[in-house]
Amino acid sequence: MHCYLLTIGDEILIGQITDTNSAWMSRELNACGIRVVGKSSVGDTAIAIREGIAYAAQHADIVLMTGGLGPTKDDITKKTLAQLFNSDMELHEPTLERIKGYFQRINRPLPHSMYDQATLPVKATILTNKMGTAPGMWLEQGGKIYISLPGVPFEMEYLMTAEVMPRLVAQFQPRPIVHRTILTSREGESNIAKRIEMFEDTLPSHVKLAYLPGMGEVRLRLTGVWPGEIIPDAADVLTREMDQLQQQLTDLIPDLIYGYEQDSLPIVIGRLLSERSLTLATAESCTGGYIAHQITAVSGSSAYFEGSVITYSNDLKMSLLGVKMETLGTHGAVSEATVREMCSGARERLGTDFALAVTGIAGPNGGTPEKPVGTIWVGIAGPNGVATEKLTFSRDRLKNIHLTSVYALSFLRQILLTM
Amino acid sequence: MHCYLLTIGDEILIGQITDTNSAWMSRELNACGIRVVGKSSVGDTAIAIREGIAYAAQHADIVLMTGGLGPTKDDITKKTLAQLFNSDMELHEPTLERIKGYFQRINRPLPHSMYDQATLPVKATILTNKMGTAPGMWLEQGGKIYISLPGVPFEMEYLMTAEVMPRLVAQFQPRPIVHRTILTSREGESNIAKRIEMFEDTLPSHVKLAYLPGMGEVRLRLTGVWPGEIIPDAADVLTREMDQLQQQLTDLIPDLIYGYEQDSLPIVIGRLLSERSLTLATAESCTGGYIAHQITAVSGSSAYFEGSVITYSNDLKMSLLGVKMETLGTHGAVSEATVREMCSGARERLGTDFALAVTGIAGPNGGTPEKPVGTIWVGIAGPNGVATEKLTFSRDRLKNIHLTSVYALSFLRQILLTM
């Protein structure tokens, strides 16, 4: 089954936004055995949209469009679709009700443009967008499927996951397909590849392994597609085979794997803390609250996370965490000695079982020959004392902040596992 | 002058990499008056590349390709180009010498595949790649230009800057284009559209307005293309016209606009604080450090940002910020009374001119009929006292955290402006 992606919007062609949607959608589609054969971007004109759709339909069974669905004048995708499918436009009452409910909840008057937003081609199946006002649309014509989704990433991701993928899988993928996602941190793609080379070389041909690299993390995805004739318990047989392969992979790199499927480091850490009835605090300098944000992005984190102290200045390192002036004077703010006092101070003053502290030079300025930009110290204070680790990253500020968070949480996980 | 971008490589279609090259190239081309009319991605097959080039050439004067130039077997762009242009392939000695020099410098033997890398279509003008092994190529046929560049971002950027852009600008006298990006927060696309309807309806036909919505923010982009014959000072005349239009727009919604072009709310706030020699701290409950992270993501923020206290638990609200037990008991943690004591306490204990505090129910659980999920209080303590604001958002945890950050920083900006 082939799919062609079409992104609509001048903002992509003038380079104002980077298209991250396409990569996300390609991964999801590929994981379900739907091949993306090409993608195009066109501007916000009827003629460009029309031509883009025609070209896409020549190359694939599914044309998946994003963008151009807002209520303002530059968004004309919907009208162009209605014309293309010879469909009248009508006010779609359920959509209007949903939008009205949203504006009621946020206590704002309903803008008149929302009537346009809820006016939709009658031939389209409406895909309910629980994350925004513009609904998705599903149209079929001449044996092909045309899907139109809003371009805002989290709205698109919601609609793909909740509406589009289940429909596509039901329509096109009768062959059982089983995925396993294995989450690793702290090693790059090529080093992981080296360690699991044998495993990869001996995978059966109906199972594929994909590396999905992120910052400081690599997700490994095993996709098995039932190879032969479909037997009644094909799905179960394939599931058992995938379980075994996942176990083999886990045995090869247990030190790198922190979780599976929808896990994340903060979720895994939350689980470890909850199971052991332990509490956590953080003390952050160079990460400026990013680690606390990662931890508190998890719903229910208030059960184990007490709070954090972000001490950007040396004064606050002393007054809020009790770091000694001599320590700062002798070793500097970015040092093992300082991070030790930061995590011990946080553990004591915030009254938690564990405290994670980081101090470093995020950059791009502020480095010295001895302590270049990207030098970071991590400390973890717990009931059994303090453990520290030095990290060395690059000159990119946001990358350093993100990588520090991944490595520090990874370090914390290892320590919690020994409790 | 019209350009079409073509990215070549299976890695884009399976979603293994996000295409950041296109946005970069689009910005560069636009800045020189060359309009990008579309872009496509095709896989690593001769037939897909051939068809992609033909389609691109139908739509533009310049076909700008990236990717598919590496030495490995799946990269066949170069051979396909040679066939398409009826050109022989020959070893290009200057390129081979350059590659040899590179391997000598890094003290490694020359891989045999580098002879392939230096074998190039004789009809192509070779663009010397000082950042990597694969050279760029420039071909002309039928009045159109075909340019092929490697896909590695810093190699592509080097070749665009040093070789491609100067040649394009010399060859064409492009029509001046001027962009203006106006940044707004706290209002949705449709409400902004209502307020600037007259402005939008009376825009001259050579100027377009686009809405680029983000979470809690909308960017407005005005694009003017010089309409008539090109006169010597066309660019200046157009720039003045765009300046006037930007001013007209600013006068219509001054309350919503926080900046222009590459600004962001944290950058604008940092500028306001620096200009006034003021310092800032935050005290966060439901946002869990996200606001501090936004502020400290700006390089140089240590000049005005002292730190933050994240008090997820009531205990820490009392011990670290001095919130009174009676206040928490009578009004609850999510209340105007509590946020007042939080920001005042932070200002005093962290010793800053301003302190921003937030407390709320991020969700998805924890709401009550009186205080549903998405209820947030923001407080700002400054030299002139405390200001507070109540926000009401949705049931989505991460959206609530993000929106709270945008609204709170917006509120802080307004207060700083009155100083």
Closest C-alpha to B156, from B134, B171, B174: B134
- Cis ω for the linkage preceding B364 (within 30 of 0): yes
Neighbour count for residue A240 (Cβ, 10 Å): 12
**Residue of A7, A316, A361, A394 to mutate for B, most B C-beta atoms under 10 A:** A316
Mean residue pLDDT of chain B comes to: 93
Q: Is A177 left (phi over 0), alpha (psi -120 to 50) or beta?
A: beta
pLDDT tens track for B93-111: 999 999 999 888 777 788 8
Report how far apart, in Å, the C-alpha atoms of A379 and of each of A38, A412, A415, B283, B318 are. Answer: 47, 9, 11, 23, 26
- What pLDDT sits at residue B315? 95
Would you call B364 and A20 a contact, using CB atoms and an 8 Å cutoff? no
Which residues in chain A are contacts of B367 at CB distance < 8 A?
A: none
- N-to-C CA span, chain B: 48
- What pLDDT sits at residue A173? 66
Neighbour count for residue B222 (Cβ, 10 Å): 20
Give the max Cα distance, chain B: 86
- What pLDDT sits at residue A341? 98
Q: Which residues does residue A177 pair with via DSSP β-bridges, in sequence order?
A: A225
Closest C-alpha to B195, from A119, A150, A72: A72
**Residue of A74, A295, A298 to mutate for B, most B C-beta atoms under 10 A:** A74
pLDDT range class, residue B69, cuts 50, 70, 90: confident
Q: Out of A15, A291, A307, whose CB is closest to B23? A: A15
Which residues in chain A are contacts of B16 at CB distance < 8 A?
A: 23, 27, 210-212
Which strand ranges, in their side-by-side order, compose the sheet holding B207-213? B207-213, B217-225, B177-185, B257-260
Would you call B190 and A320 a contact, using CB atoms and an 8 Å cutoff? no
Residue B382: DSSP 8-state: E
- The position carrying tokens 């923010």 is B217
Q: Which residues does residue A63 pair with via DSSP β-bridges, in sequence order?
A: A4, A146
Which residues in chain B are contacts of A111 at CB distance < 8 A?
A: 188, 190-191, 194
Query: Which range, of A175-184, B232-241, B375-384, averages the lowest pLDDT?
Result: A175-184
Which residues in chain A are contacts of B200 at CB distance < 8 A?
A: 73
pLDDT range class, residue B10, cuts 50, 70, 90: confident
The pLDDT of B107-122, averaged and rounded, is 87
- What pLDDT sits at residue B175? 79
> Whole-angstrom Cα distance, residue B397 to residue B362?
5
The pLDDT of B344-366, averaged and rounded, is 96
Q: Out of B38, B289, B319, whose CB is closest to A293? A: B289
pTM comes to 0.79
**Residue of B4, B12, B311, B316 to mutate for A, most A C-beta atoms under 10 A:** B316
Would you call B189 and A71 a contact, using CB atoms and an 8 Å cutoff? yes
Would you call B14 and A210 a contact, using CB atoms and an 8 Å cutoff? yes
Pairing of strands B354-360, B280-284: parallel
Asked if A143 contacts A207 with a C-beta cutoff of 8 angstroms, the reply is no
ipTM above 0.90?
Answer: no
- Residues in Cβ contact with A105 at an 8 Å cutoff, skipping those fewer than 6 apart: B374, B392, B394
- What pLDDT sits at residue A174? 67
Which residues in chain B are contacts of A295 at CB distance < 8 A?
A: 288
Three-state DSSP state, A53: helix
> Whole-angstrom Cα distance, residue B419 to residue B376?
25
Report how far apart, in Å, the C-alpha atoms of B302 and of each of A163, A363, B282 are. Answer: 45, 11, 13
- What pLDDT sits at residue A352? 98
pLDDT tens track for B124-162: 999 999 888 889 999 999 999 999 999 888 889 999 999
**Closest chain A C-alpha to B93 CA, distance in angstroms:** 33
- The position carrying tokens 């992270």 is B293
- The position carrying tokens 């991944």 is A406
Would you call A307 and B311 a contact, using CB atoms and an 8 Å cutoff? yes
What's the angle, vertex CA A321, arms to CA A315 and CA A326, rounded to 5? 60
Would you call A302 and B320 a contact, using CB atoms and an 8 Å cutoff? no
Q: How far is CA A195 from the centre of its chain?
A: 26
Residue B15: closest C-alpha in chain A:
A23
pLDDT in tens, chain A (419 residues): 899 999 999 888 988 888 989 999 998 898 787 889 999 999 989 999 999 999 999 999 999 999 988 777 667 899 999 999 999 999 999 999 999 998 888 788 898 889 999 999 999 999 999 988 899 999 999 999 999 999 989 899 999 999 999 999 888 766 788 889 999 999 888 789 889 999 999 999 999 888 777 789 988 989 898 998 888 898 899 999 999 999 999 999 999 999 998 899 999 999 999 999 999 999 999 999 999 999 999 999 999 999 999 999 999 999 999 999 999 999 999 999 999 999 999 999 999 999 999 999 999 998 998 999 999 999 999 999 999 999 998 888 998 999 999 999 999 999 999 87
> Whole-angstrom Cα distance, residue B285 to residue B376?
10
CB pairs under 8 A between A and B: 280
Asked if A266 contacts A297 with a C-beta cutoff of 8 angstroms, the reply is yes
The two tokens of residue B353 are: 């001119």
Q: What are the contacts of B137-141 at 24+ separation with CB within 8 A?
A: B137/B78, B137/B81, B138/B163, B138/B164, B138/B167, B139/B81, B139/B85, B139/B87, B141/B85
Which residues in chain A are contacts of B40 at CB distance < 8 A?
A: 38-41
Q: Which residues does residue B126 pair with via DSSP β-bridges, in sequence order?
A: B137
- What pLDDT sits at residue B102? 83
Which residues in chain A are contacts of B364 at CB distance < 8 A?
A: 299
pLDDT tens track for A187-197: 888 789 889 99
Asked if A90 contacts A40 with a C-beta cutoff of 8 angstroms, the reply is no
Residue B32: closest C-alpha in chain A:
A14
Would you call B288 and A296 a contact, using CB atoms and an 8 Å cutoff? yes
**Residue of B180, B296, B401 to mutate for A, most A C-beta atoms under 10 A:** B296
- Cis ω for the linkage preceding B135 (within 30 of 0): no
**Closest chain A C-alpha to B19 CA, distance in angstroms:** 7
Asked if B209 contacts B179 with a C-beta cutoff of 8 angstroms, the reply is no
Q: B11 pLDDT exceeds 90?
A: no
Asked if A389 contacts A351 with a C-beta cutoff of 8 angstroms, the reply is no
- What pLDDT sits at residue B73? 52
What's the angle, vertex CA A400, arms to CA A397 and CA A405, rounded to 5? 130
pLDDT tens track for B253-284: 999 999 999 899 999 999 999 999 999 999 99
Which residues in chain B are contacts of A39 at CB distance < 8 A?
A: 12-13, 40-41
Report how far apart, in Å, the C-alpha atoms of A394 and of each of A338, A374, B329 are. Answer: 22, 5, 48
> Whole-angstrom Cα distance, residue A55 to residue B42?
13
SS3 percent helix, strand, coil of chain B, rounded to 5, is: 40, 25, 35
Amino acid at B248: Q
